Amino acid sequence: MPYFEMSLENDREYVYQNDSSVVESNLGMWMMVFLDVDWGDQIKKAEALLGGEELPQSGLGFIKGMDYGQRVAAWYRELKSSLSPRHPLLKLLVEQQLRNRLCCAFHPEEPWKLRKEELAYLQVLDGTDAEYEEVSISPVFLRQWLNDVVKIFAQLQMCQSQLAPLLDEVMSREEDNQGSILRAYFTLQRQNLLYRNLVESSYQALSPRFYISRNHKIYRYDGGTDTVPAKEKLEGHTYMATDQLAALTVWEFEMLCANEIPLRRCAYCGRYFRPYSVVNCYCDRVVEGTNGKTCKQVGATSKHQQAVNQDAAKKLYRKVCNRIQTAAQRRKEQYPNIMRRYNEVQLYGKELMEQVEAGDITFAEFQEKFDRSTSELLGIK
């Protein structure tokens, strides 16, 4: 069974877990988390355990072997605590794929047939049984495992280095109008041969699977019979299954572009986030050394944010004024005082823009007050 299965529908990510549950999050969450991970640092930590002389299996070497096994276990537990909580795909990577690679290092042909001491070491990795803290496993197996881990991390690091500039190219556009992401993606697809090759190789590693369920939070329908009751409401969902997390990441990049889901670099920390409005410049990540304040809280009063708010307010002001001017011109014979009312709306909008420039109201508040229906602004039916 593949380690990773994910569905991207309804502007959401649905990741299947081994307990048959499904974890849901906003589309793009995995891409943001994936780009945040320092895969190079993870490679260095794993490679640090590969250094040093070979450890024999008897005498003093046996004691050294126990110590080496404990150091490897401590590394794994730290890896698990730092990555698993960040996203369900990272949890599957650490707690399923990497863990199972150790089983394959023990027994390449039959990884499920583990000896007592090997099962005990898995408990040491998980930190679930203090009784086995002194268990010793051959360093040969552990180093083979660490080499496999480094290869997996290197593949993810390469994918990260390839996708990050492509995401910048597609998302970093001044225009926010509908279709801008698709236009940028079209140019990327036509002009970048390396990207086309990346997509082709990634899609070869993906296997689509169609499941029937009651809803997306239930992975698969199982009514205990070969037929479904007539009153049972069912849904069909497509998952992509793979053992290569990098391939799944490329697929999410494609789906972000296809659905025109904007991601933006935070103006404070420089990392990607999903904005809730055209003026949202800062993410919700906590800034170190600020007593729990987020980038959004730190940057809310910045000159950059104020400039963005003012620019957005000016664009919206012109858009609304053009709309109501057109309506007023068409209906001035029916409403003799409509042009006077139009002038009043203009003045009202300018007053609101002054409040935005002074920082008294946000762009969202300006939009709520000014971007109303034509009939409401002009006082007509």
Total-model pTM? 0.75
379: left (phi over 0), alpha (psi -120 to 50) or beta: left
Confidence at residue 56, expressed as pLDDT on a 0 to 100 scale: 45
pLDDT score for 168: 92
Q: What is the pLDDT of residues 233-269, one digit of tens each?
A: 888 889 999 999 999 999 999 999 999 999 999 888 8
How does pLDDT run across 17-36, given as a tens digit for each residue? Answer: 888 789 999 999 999 999 99
In the predicted model, what is the mean pLDDT of the chain?
Answer: 85
Question: For residue 110, is pLDDT > 60?
Answer: yes
pLDDT computed for residue 287 by the predictor: 86
- What is the reported pLDDT for 304? 65
Q: Residue 170's closest CA among 246, 256, 279?
A: 256
pLDDT for residue 38: 95
Pick from 37-41, 129-133, 191-195, 210-214: least confident: 129-133
What's the pLDDT score for residue 77?
94
Does 277 or 110 have the greater pLDDT score?
Answer: 110
Mean pLDDT for the stretch of residues 114-128: 86
HEC-encoded secondary structure of 39-76: HHHHHHHHHHCCCCCCCCCCCHHHHHHHHHHHHHHHHH
Residue-wise pLDDT for 142-173, tens only, equals 999 999 999 999 999 999 999 999 999 998 75
Question: Over 90: is that where the pLDDT of 107 sits?
Answer: no
**Residue at 145: amino acid letter:** W
The whole-number average pLDDT for the span 269-294 is: 85
pLDDT tens sequence across 185-229: 999 999 999 999 999 999 999 999 998 887 777 666 666 666 777
Whole-number pLDDT of residue 378 = 82
Q: What is the pLDDT of residues 327-347, one digit of tens each?
A: 888 888 888 888 888 888 888
Phi then psi for 155, rounded to 5 degrees?
Answer: -65, -40
> What pLDDT shows up at residue 330?
84
Is the per-residue pLDDT at 174 higher than 70?
no
Residue pair 245/33 in contact by the 8 Å Cβ criterion: no
